Amino acid sequence: MQFSAILTSFALLGALILPPSVWSRTAGPESSTADAIILDMAQAFKQRDRKRLSSMLAHVRGHTLEPWAAYWELAARLDDASTKEIQDFLARYSGTYQEDRLRNEWLLQLGKNRDWTAFEREVRLYRMNDDRSVRCYGALTDYKTRAADVGKLVADTWLSLRDADEGCAAAAEQLLDDKKLDRHIAWLRARLGMENDRLRVATQAVGMLDERWTKTVNSIYLNPGKYLSDKLTALRPQTREFVSLALIRLAYLDPAEAAVEVEKLRWKAQLTQEERSWIWGVIGKRAAQKLSLDAPGFFAKGQAAEMHEDHLVWLARAALRMGNWSKVLEAIAAMPEVMRADPTWVYWKARALLKLDASESNRTQARQLLAGIASVRGFYEQLALEELGQKITVPARPEPLTAEEKETARQNTGLARALHAIRIGLRLEGVREWNYHTNLHVRGGLDDRGLLAAADLACQNEVWDRCINTSDRTRGVMDFEQRFPLPFKAAVLARTAQIGLDPAYVYGLIRQESRFIMDARSGVGASGLMQVMPATAKWTAKKIGLSGFQPRDINDRDTNIAIGTGYLKLVLDNFGGSMPMAAAAYNAGPGRPQLWRGQSGAPVLEAAIWAENIPFHETRDYVKKVLSNTTNYAALITGQPQSLKARLGSVGPRDASVPLPTEDLP
């Protein structure tokens, strides 16, 4: 429909449009025509078409999604908007996600413009408080107006950012100029940029120390070997740092070559212990990510206390892979406290204690550690249960929701707005708004009972991703039927029975892949419930005898389930029934898990250790979550206690005596 036709049709609804003053107390008129204008405005916002947005705004007053429309119109011209226009918007839509979202963007603009008076006034009203750039601007405001000591806050926040930003960089630069922040912090930031292949991070940090040095950093990034081959003799402090950056960059590209280079006498003699340890940490990390047996030896050449936390994680993983339990303990002991408290490292610390010393004191400490995390909440929590001799069972359901609790959720205008946005195709906007209104740290956020009621509302509307994610956040109670719903149960059970596939495994995978969103589409083109790629769908349809398949059919529920389960069964058979390896193959392609299982002579590993050593963060997380989901779904479907360990098994090099399948999986 042309936009002019939309407006003409919408004009006929004029009598139904509510005055702006009551939009927040009741839903506005809903119609396909009104929704079409909202969708057109969403597209215009993406294109930053200010004129189009302004011309449409008046026609959606009173609509449920009016706050979104008004936000798009003003956000598209925020640079030019007057303070009065912004304040009027914030007042009109007070308490909404859109108010807080716009204030977030305005705070970034105020910080960039160094308007500290307005920033300080507005930041007090900012409820989300989750933007790290805003946090850094806030620290800079405190420093400017009250001479507050904000060095540690700025340093910690700046070093935690993966990419270059304006807010934390501005705060760091000011503190560096005033000698309130050690120059070493800037070099650490540059190191992190170089080892994570973020050139802009490195040049931004070094440029704060001396703008002329950015040219050197660029040269190092492009050719670290050439920089190191130059006739560098007595190293000044900054030259040592440049050498460190070059060795780090070389380690990113080729850890074995970097290991040879850093052993050269001129570097060993002139680099500090801290510099050498960091470099060995990077070399070890990159070698561990390549599953090299040399990784533990590389790590051993540095001191764990001088390494970055990311190096320590990979030191622990490499030690697990080699069965060096004392090194596992050493790596965990060197981690920051918050990281040591993660269930991953609590579990492996307990296991290491039991492996190293079977004394009563060690067993007691290990049991205490395991008991502190044991539950059905996640992968390592479930493994902790089993280490304590318990199985995975369905927890008792919480008290049923009352009619009042359900009605409170239905009357929540933010949740209603989110559901409407999702219903008409604005999923990203709807998800953001839903999450905002269910977060406890936001004023008006929900406690456990409120989360259960909100999850129930989403379930009743078959918005399964919000149902699952909202119920997942309860702490004191768990409703497994919300957390692990069984949509399309008849279709899934019939299909899995037909091909001999565990339905719990299929549900565990779908929950992780799409959260049961039938029209889900990934950034790389995977589609539907089981997120099947077009080429894979075509290949699988042929293999399973699905005649007449067309690419458009992949979004049909039953077709997607048939193809997804068919491919999963082929992958599972290809990996000898190993659920962890098949899950990794489903996520990262079948070729990579074959490499990750190791060459001939590599150790046979507990699958939990194998999964923890998967080089790709996404796949590592995916495998653990799919297997954890599967175990919980099995408990739900069968009503019987379950074992995660039994599903994990072990992973080792392929048995050369067993022929590979004759077909290559896509």
Q: How far apart are CA 661 and CA 335, in angstroms?
A: 43
- Axis crossing angle, helix 83-92 with helix 97-112, rounded to the nearest 10: 160
Q: In angstroms, what CA-CA distances link 482 with 418, 447, 465, 478, 644? A: 19, 16, 10, 9, 21
* Residue 513 annotated in active site: yes
CA of residue 188 relative to chain centroid, distance: 24
What pLDDT, on a 0 to 100 scale, did the predictor assign at position 30? 59
Q: Are 217 and 164 in contact (CB under 8 A)?
A: no
pLDDT tens by residue, 201-225: 999 999 999 999 999 999 999 999 9
What pLDDT, on a 0 to 100 scale, did the predictor assign at position 358? 81
3-state SS, residue 304: helix
What pLDDT, on a 0 to 100 scale, did the predictor assign at position 445? 77
pLDDT tens by residue, 501-537: 999 999 999 999 999 998 888 878 889 999 999 999 9
Q: Are 356 and 323 in contact (CB under 8 A)?
A: no
What token pair was written down for 232? 């560098």
Instruction: Give percent of the chain with pLDDT exceeding 90.
Output: 86
Q: Write the Ramachandran bin of 519: left for phi over 0, alpha for psi from -120 to 50, otherwise beta.
A: alpha
Start-to-end CA span in the chain (Å): 40
Q: How far apart are CA 67 and CA 77, in angstroms?
A: 16
pLDDT tens by residue, 642-659: 999 999 999 998 776 666
Q: Are 383 and 644 in contact (CB under 8 A)?
A: yes
Q: Are 635 and 642 in contact (CB under 8 A)?
A: yes
Range 489-651 has CATH code 1.10.530.10 = yes
- What residues form DSSP beta bridges with 605? 651
Q: What is the overall mean pLDDT for the chain?
A: 92
pLDDT tens by residue, 399-417: 999 999 999 999 999 999 9
What pLDDT, on a 0 to 100 scale, did the predictor assign at position 46? 97
Nearest to 342 by CA among 316, 306, 322, 307: 316
Q: How far apart are CA 454 and CA 421, in angstroms?
A: 16
Q: Residues 46-50: what's their mean pLDDT?
A: 97
Angle at 27 between CA 26 and CA 29, to 5 degrees: 130
Q: Are 105 and 71 in contact (CB under 8 A)?
A: no
- Going from N- to C-terminal start, the domains of the chain cover 3-94, 403-478, 489-651
Q: How far apart are CA 474 and CA 468, in angstroms?
A: 11
What pLDDT, on a 0 to 100 scale, did the predictor assign at position 238? 87
pLDDT tens by residue, 546-561: 988 998 899 999 999 9
What pLDDT, on a 0 to 100 scale, did the predictor assign at position 23? 42
pLDDT tens by residue, 381-402: 999 999 999 999 999 999 999 9
Q: How far apart are CA 480 and CA 180, in angstroms?
A: 51
Q: How far apart are CA 393 and CA 642, in angstroms?
A: 7
- In a 13 Å sphere around the CA of 391, the CA atoms on its Cβ side amount to 12
pLDDT at 599 over 80: no
Residues in the chain: 666
Instruction: Give percent of the chain with pLDDT exceeding 70.
Output: 93
The one catalytic residue in 513, 606, 618, 663 is: 513
pLDDT tens by residue, 136-193: 999 999 999 999 999 999 999 999 999 999 999 999 999 999 999 999 999 999 999 9
Nearest to 59 by CA among 97, 1, 98, 6: 6
Q: How far apart are CA 665 and CA 570, in angstroms?
A: 8
pLDDT band (50, 70, 90) for residue 19: very low
Q: Are 578 and 282 in contact (CB under 8 A)?
A: no
Contacts of 381 by beta carbon, 8 Å cutoff, 6+ apart:
343, 373, 374, 375
What pLDDT, on a 0 to 100 scale, did the predictor assign at position 663? 59
Q: Identify the helix (H) or strand (E) that includes residue 266.
A: helix 265-270
Contacts of 513 by beta carbon, 8 Å cutoff, 6+ apart:
520, 529, 530, 531
pLDDT tens by residue, 247-306: 999 999 999 999 999 999 889 889 999 999 999 999 999 999 999 999 999 999 999 999
pLDDT band (50, 70, 90) for residue 16: very low
Q: How far apart are CA 174 and CA 161, in angstroms?
A: 18
What pLDDT, on a 0 to 100 scale, did the predictor assign at position 265? 84
Residue 597 vs residue 18, higher pLDDT? 597
* pTM recorded for the entire structure: 0.93
What token pair was written down for 76? 């598209």
What token pair was written down for 57? 């705004």
What token pair was written down for 77? 């011209």
Q: How far apart are CA 576 and CA 559, in angstroms?
A: 26
Q: How far apart are CA 492 and CA 503, in angstroms?
A: 7
Q: How far apart are CA 45 and CA 69, in angstroms?
A: 9
